[in-house]
Amino acid sequence: IAGITQAPTSQILAAGRRMTLRCTQDMRHNAMYWYRQDLGLGLRLIHYSNTAGTTGKGEVPDGYSVSRANTDDFPLTLASAVPSQTSVYFCASSRTSGRSGELFFGEGSRLTVL
Amino acid sequence: LAKTTQPISMDSYEGQEVNITCSHNNIATNDYITWYQQFPSQGPRFIIQGYKTKVTNEVASLFIPADRKSSTLSLPRVSLSDTAVYYCLAHQGSVNTGFQKLVFGTGTRLLVSP
B87 located within any domain: yes
pLDDT of res. B100: 74
Q: What is the mean pLDDT of residues A83-106?
A: 89
B110 located within any domain: no
How many folded domains does chain B comprise? 1
Q: Three-class SS string for chain B?
A: CCCCECCCEEEEECCCCEEEEEECCCCCCCEEEEEEEECCCCCCEEEEEECCEEEECCCCEEEECCCCCEEEEEECCCCHHHCEEEEEEEEECCCCCCCCCCCCCCCEEEEEEC
Contact A102 B49 (CB under 8 A): yes
B33 located within any domain: yes
Is the minimum CB–CB distance between A64 and chain B shorter than 8 Å? Answer: no
The residue among A79, A81, A84, A94 whose CA lies nearest residue A34 is: A94
B81 located within any domain: yes
Contact A43 B44 (CB under 8 A): yes
Range of the domain at B21: 9-94
Is the minimum CB–CB distance between B39 and chain A shorter than 8 Å? Answer: no
CATH class of A4-113: mainly beta
Residue in A1, A9, A34, A43 to test binding to B, most B beta-carbons within 10 Å = A43
Higher pLDDT, A66 or A100: A66
B4 located within any domain: no
- Bond before A8 cis per omega within 30 degrees: yes
B51 located within any domain: yes
Contact A90 B99 (CB under 8 A): no
Is the minimum CB–CB distance between B77 and chain A shorter than 8 Å? Answer: no
Q: What is the pLDDT of residues B3-41, one digit of tens each?
A: 899 999 999 999 999 999 999 999 988 889 999 999 988
The mean pLDDT of chain B is 91
B90 located within any domain: yes
B109 located within any domain: no
pLDDT of res. B106: 87
Query: Is the predicted pLDDT of residue B1 greater than 70, yes or no?
Result: no
Q: What is the pLDDT of residues A22-50, one digit of tens each?
A: 999 999 998 999 999 998 888 999 999 98
| Nearest-angstrom CA–CA distance, B39 and A89 | 15
Tell me A83's DSSP state. G
Question: In CATH, what number is assigned to the domain containing residue B59?
Answer: 2.60.40.10
pLDDT of res. A8: 97
Q: What is the mean pLDDT of residues A61-71?
A: 97
